[in-house]
Amino acid sequence: MNIQSLLSEKVSQALIAAGASADSEAQVRQSAKAQFGDYQANGVMSVAKKLGMPPRQLAEKVVELLDLNGIANKVEIAGPGFINIFLDPAFVGAHVDSALNDEKLGITPVEPQTIVIDYSAPNVAKEMHVGHIRSTIIGDAAVRTNEFLGHKVIRANHVGDWGTQFGMLIAYLEKVQNENAGDMNLADLEEFYRAAKKNYDEDEAFAERARGYVVKLQGGDEYCLQMWRKLVDVTMKQNQLTYNRLNVTLTEDDVMGESLYNNMLPGIVSDLQAKGLAVDSEGAVVVYLDEYKNKDGDPMGVIIRKKDGGYLYTTTDIACAKYRYETLGADRVLYYIDSRQHQHLMQAWTIARKAGYVPDSVALEHHMFGMMLGKDGKPFKTRSGGTVKLSDLLDEAIDRARKLITEKNPEMKDAAELEKLVNAVGIGAIKYADLSKSRTTDYVFDWDNMLAFEGNTAPYMQYAYTRVASIFKRAEIDVNSLTQPVVLSEEREAALATRLLQFEEVLTVVAREGTPHTMCAYLYDVAGLFSSFYEHCPILNAEDETSRNSRLKLALLTQRTLKTGLDTLGIETVERM
């Protein structure tokens, strides 16, 4: 049920009947304050201006023509021409019932789109670090949300698995294997990469070998490919452990690394040359873009092939956009990459569009995010200034959660249950802290805030969920016994019920904008409305059977909405904490 769409349609019809053009927007929004009703239509003012009509007069006409029978029980005009709509509790109650009768909580089936989501994208022979955490967590929430709505989602893990660094990595892997008689220790990828680099910088014979391997690898040499594959496999196995720990839905099947686009690159370059988009410049191939100016105010040159014949990160992203449209059949492609790569993406896409590789009907969207900062406001680093490894961060989260939970809940004895809880809270806290902030800005990583039981945090939301769930358990209520329809008689019941029916509106926003924080804010709000309802409206001791039944149903829909909502975020719930 999408009340906002329904009302938009109704108000638009009335606007058109009142003389507005067919494309007039009703501008229906959820009202910010109860006194303005549940929804507000704000479109009258701009339409009145176009029609040269006093807005209040138009508003009156619209209200007269507006047919909200069975939906609203009061419609008011406020201020210069706002239309305030008060939903009919009977309408709200009936839709609570239909939401409960549906596994997907009554959400409207979508016209399914194919949506490719580019996220996580760690680099081979490097440990995943906190810079990849935001992409992984936010991207996975976008995946889950779009999938829940019914879209076909293709996860694309654009792993950095190609480039000149592989010569040095292969040469080093060879060295390690020789020294350890085949025993390869890649456990510490960061250390492996550093050692490879050191050998490259300090040992001329090694460097020579490394350069040779780059050429051989690019030429498809079997030995080099085999070594390369080993590096990719070991890295991705390690990353997979992190994905599993993080409750992220990526699998090894979702890897679509840079190397996938390799054999497209020569064709792309010659095609761009043939189309007159790319030109030779001092031996390199360059696309000059009028849309972007360099320091001197001249069109910016984007290199797509280097003098030595090598291709670039941008060339790969041009090919990749083409592939996602042409081969994967994408209707939309969402990229979860930090904001520093914005210009890179814009350049790659501008070129792809000009070349006709991706039509305008297919959206390429950069859902960028800011940096993770330490409490000092500087980029998040270890005490000694190094990059924080994701796996270390997760270990610490678990340790802290264990301490917190055993302190709060010393009587929890079942070891398996305790582990599950510790995991859900620890990992949930890290993820939720990231998801609940607007993604476009930097955010401060703060253990105390994210593990607090108050405020918009994972532990609070998880606890709120167990509280609702416990009502049914304590009273041993069989939810199938709740057969009477919902009747809303108290204001707090109606407020909670209306908010619960707005679930789909929030899902739609998250799916469109890639903003999981709107889901977090919504669920937090639902938890708050539930608390206030629970405090004022006795459930099990309700004054009559109708109220008891209705309130139990409201609690049940709250429970399901919290669980489903947290699930779209990739946050686990537990039944007890």
Which residues lie near ligand ARG (CB under 6 A)? 118, 121, 123, 158, 160, 317, 320, 335, 337
Q: How far apart are CA 72 and CA 86, in angstroms?
A: 5
Closer Cβ to ligand ARG, 196 or 519, answer by number: 196
Q: Would you say 38 or 118 has its CB closer to ligand ARG?
A: 118
C-beta of 317 vs 493, nearer to ligand ARG = 317
Cβ proximity to ligand ARG, 316 vs 462, nearer residue: 316
What is the distance between the alpha carbons of residues 371 and 520, in angstroms, rounded to a whole number? 20
**Nearer to ligand ARG (CB atom), residue 123 or residue 347:** 123
Q: Of 37 and 160, which has the nearer Cβ to ligand ARG?
A: 160
Question: Is the Cβ of residue 213 or residue 349 nearer to ligand ARG in the bound state?
Answer: 349
Query: Helix or strand or coil: residue 301?
Result: strand
Helix count and strand count (H, E) for the chain:
20, 13
Smallest gap from Cβ 121 to ligand ARG, in A, equals 4
Torsion, Cα of 344, 269, 230, 396 (10° steps): 10
| Residue with Cβ nearer ligand ARG (340 or 378) | 340
Radius of gyration of the chain (CA): 28
Helices (H), ranges, 502-544: 503-513, 516-536
Q: Between residues 312 and 526, which has the closer beta carbon with respect to ligand ARG?
A: 312
CB burial of 234-253 (b: ≥16 within 10 Å; e: otherwise) equals: bbbebbeebbebbbbebeee
User: How far apart are CB 162 and ligand ARG at their closest, in Å?
Assistant: 10
Of 434 and 504, CB closest to ligand ARG: 434
* Least CB distance to ligand ARG at residue 338 (A): 7
CB of 239 vs ligand ARG, minimal distance in Å: 12
Q: What phi and psi values does residue 349 have, to the nearest 5 degrees?
A: -70, -35
CB of 158 to ligand ARG, least distance (A): 4
Amino acid letter for position 113: Q
Minimal distance, residue 167 CB to ligand ARG, in Å? 19
Residue 185 to residue 192: CA distance in whole angstroms: 8
CB of 317 to ligand ARG, least distance (A): 5
3-state secondary structure at position 268: helix
| Structure tokens that stand for 43 in this block | 């479109």
- Least distance (Å) between residue 560 CB and ligand ARG: 35
Min separation Cβ 163 and ligand ARG, Å: 10
Length of the chain: 577
3-state secondary structure 358-422: CCCCCEEEECCECCEECCCCCECCCCCCCCCEHHHHHHHHHHHHHHHHHHHCCCCCCHHHHHHHH
CB of 334 to ligand ARG, least distance (A): 11
Burial class (CB in 10 A: 0-12, 13-18, 19+), 570: buried
Q: Which of 123, 462 has the CB closer to ligand ARG?
A: 123
User: What is the C-alpha to C-alpha distance for residues 510 and 568, in angstroms, rounded to an integer?
Assistant: 10
Rounded to whole angstroms, the Cα distance separating 430 from 112 reads 32
Nearest-10 Cα torsion for 501, 504, 506, 511: 170
Minimum Å distance from CB 115 to ligand ARG?
15
What would the two tokens of residue 318 be?
């041009």
